Structure 1
Amino acid sequence: MSRPAPRGALWALLAGNFVIGTGVMVVPGTLNEISTSLAVTAATAGQLITAAAIVMCLGAPLLAALVAGWDRRQLLALTLLWYAAGHALSSLMPSFAALLPVRMLTVIAPAIFTPQAAACAGMLVPPEHRGRAVTFVFLGWSMASVLGLPIGALIGGHLGWRMAFMAIAMLSIVSAASIWLTLPPGIRPAALTAAAWSRVLRSPVLMGIVSVTALQGSGQFVLFSYFGPVLKQSFGADANTLSLMWALFGAFGLIGNMVVSRYIDRVGAGRMVLLTSSLIALSLLLWPFASTLAWLAVVIVPWGIGCFATNSAQQARLVGLAPALAPGSVALNSSGIYIGQAVGAALGGWLLANDAAPWMSRVGLALLLLAIGLSVAIDRSRRAA
């Protein structure tokens, strides 16, 4: 199915990713407040990230098969309403033990929405515009980092993490209405057969790309998950300062994704992945040398530019290589993102709990370099084939 994109449909998908991204990142943004409010350590509170990431990782491919025949307008709108209910309920939880399972149920929504929105965007435009459409929709995650995450951190710092969660619940309802009003009915990607799933899983190139995504996510989330506690402990950063740092990171994330969206079809998705991954690695390399918040603000700029842009490029890379297999490959790539978050957050939490915070950037850098090496090897093998 290929048709001109209806007015506003791609924007509604972008807005949905904005809400989804803001909700996923609200825990890193309010980690200090959750830790204090629920009387647990920052490392323990960080396991909300690990547990949620595991659910999203396993849920993305399993749910992709389950919802394959659904009308995408209904599916995406209902997914956002689930997200709203989950965040509203989470804000009422009295303890960490009560919050953890509710959070795990809530993040079923990102496991569905992000990969299905990407696949849907690819069906709304002609083939030659698919890369740009997918990366455009993924701009929502960058916007979440530049607006949603710092605003959530600011609300959490001044009004408490519960109010930040309630704000996401309200945004989710608005976004569900936007999806329902703008997305055309009848978008039903063909369900992937067992043979098609087998083709995805047995493809060294597609699974290699998913592995690159997982390594990238692991490398970033070793440190990204604990920005708040690390900046508070090392630099004495308060809620306002943390919000400004998140906003700076997010602003350059938005710029990076916009640049990738504009030039990816011309430069090529593989080269974009290499460039954006290298920018993240550069920041992790320089992190130990940042002795003040001012220098740290400079150091995180390349990371911000590459962070969300590299995920956009990976999604476009998969859609471009095998459009017919995109519902499966993009779902697995989302799993790669989330397993990376789970592994990275678990590693970072262990390092933080064992007073080894200075090693976070080094461990992250090692994982990023593995991702870069694998990505280069995949491109070389394709050219040689």
Structure 2
Amino acid sequence: MLRTAAHHAKKALTIPRYYGKGLLKVLTEEPAFVWAQAIAFKTLVTLLPLLLLATGIFGLVIRQEDPFTTVSAFLRNFLPSGQSDGLVELVMQLQKASGAITTFGAVFFLVTVITMFSTLRYVVGAAMGESRHQMRGIVRGYLFDLRMAAQVGTLFLMSFAITAGARVLSARSGALAAQVGLDPGLVGTAASGLLQLVTFLVPYVLTVGMLAQLYFFVPRPRTPVRSALAGAAVAAVLFEIAKNGFAIYATHVADFDRYAQEGEGLGGLGGVFGLILAFVFWVYVSGLILVIGAAVAALHERRTRPRKSRLRKLWASKAGIFRRHRERVEAEAIEAHTEAAVEPADAPDVSALPPGGDGAALTPHPAEDDIPGPPSS
């Protein structure tokens, strides 16, 4: 029993060692930190167009009276609590100053957002490994980015519908309970708890859904669903841990608000400068988490998917190439076997064959003295 327990414990310890060595290799041998910098810069450039486009969609398509409230709620879920309020207020002022969204502006914003997905596509593909991922062409790449933008936008709308439905149910739970003869207080308490649960789970599920789409659709060929979900789940957990840790760091250690104090030489721009600095640093950390999640998905695939099944799928996809290779190998094997059979160790000496080539071996003629004479009478 102790030997079995020790065997299972040793086998369990190989899992963190496997992923630890793989992640260390990615972070030390690949330009992972440069990839995170690219994501941070691209997010900073495309943040305002993305939020304005989302505000326009919620205002024009869903017909909300205050669409920016919904967008800001999602923004607060993805930012540390200590730094989200200032950034939301800044973006709201820019949104009010920009006026109504036009058709040309919407197209420009959409193109800008697509370029951000291009950066994410390159980073995720590179983090998966060059031997694992084949890059797309320019046109197919941009079409894929447009598709990913539509999928992520649909996911946002679905999460918004779930949250809005939970809020409506919580607000009307008392009246509905009274109509069917139930206790309004008890039903209201249950509905309030359900709303809190939905509010807690929706951001995490939304994060897992977005990351799983990137880890599943970006690589060519696609990763298994369970590998994409494993990488997305790890990245989402790290994202929540980093969000809370960054809030503590920004509040007690970094003190980004010091740029807004008098005497720093930045005047009225000090608060905005500190806010942008904190935001870029947070997006940089999020980019590292995205790279780690992609590496975990690739490592999970290599660990769980049997090599034989991969070769079988590759054989099926390129049957002609492998058939010609198999025929050539078999022909070489037959030729080698034939040559080995023709020249065994005990083969007859071919030099003793007559010039005529009749195949009969020459036998030495006996000498005349050795020929017995006729018997004497």
Query: Which is helix-richer, 1 or 2?
Result: 1
- Report the TM-score, using the length of structure 2 for normalisation: 0.28
Higher normalized contact order (CA 8 Å, seq sep 6+, divided by chain length): 1
Largest Rg, 1 or 2: 2
- Report the TM-score, using the length of structure 1 for normalisation: 0.27
